[in-house]
Structure 1
Amino acid sequence: MTWSTESSSPTAADALWALPAQCDDGALLQLQTFLSAHRDRAICLDASDLRRLDTIILQIGVAACRDWSARGLPFRMVNLPDRLLSALPQLGLEPEALGIEAQQ
């Protein structure tokens, strides 16, 4: 099984937010505000600009994915660069913990 975020794309129903290259305090506050404002919608985080996997962004992503899933709502992360995607298992995370779907 392979993992890819490139073939996934947001749908018209998704609330879309583009993660910045580096998630500083301001960007994290914006992400928190975005997630709070869209609690009842499918979420799609576009990670195409993300350059490193900070612990806090992983924690928020995993917690949000679990929360949305528990409420029966889609939560996806798309366009995560391959070098970051391949680092997830080294950090003890499976891609689906962030809403990254397996490609067959």
Structure 2
Amino acid sequence: MKQKIFNFVKNNKIMLLIITLWVVALIVGTINWNSNWIGFWGSLIGSFIGVLGVFITMKVDQEEREKERKQDIFISNLSTYIGLHRTLSSTEFSSIYKELLKLKNSKE
């Protein structure tokens, strides 16, 4: 359910923005303007902008950390990859199987 909502929001960003702006404009148009309302709407819009900035920053940071994690996983498993390369160079299936078992047991 959560994933469906996320996909809907992701695919319909412009439509949701237009609806949100329309609702805000409707509410703003129906109120009597005084300094209290101006302060309220200013702080509300400023809060949304601040939260949006934090969200974008977190998303970019998460993507960068994911890239670094993938690189770390590859580097930490480099000996396994080298062993697999050596193993797959042999022609007999039984020797490949034995070598893979050795690699598995050596990592545990």
State the TM-score, normalizing by the size of structure 2: 0.21
TM-score by length of 1: 0.21
The answer to which structure, 1 or 2, has the higher relative contact order (CA under 8 A, 6+ apart) is 1
Structure with greater proportional helix content: 2
**Structure in which a larger fraction of residues adopt strand:** 1
The structure whose Rg is larger is: 2
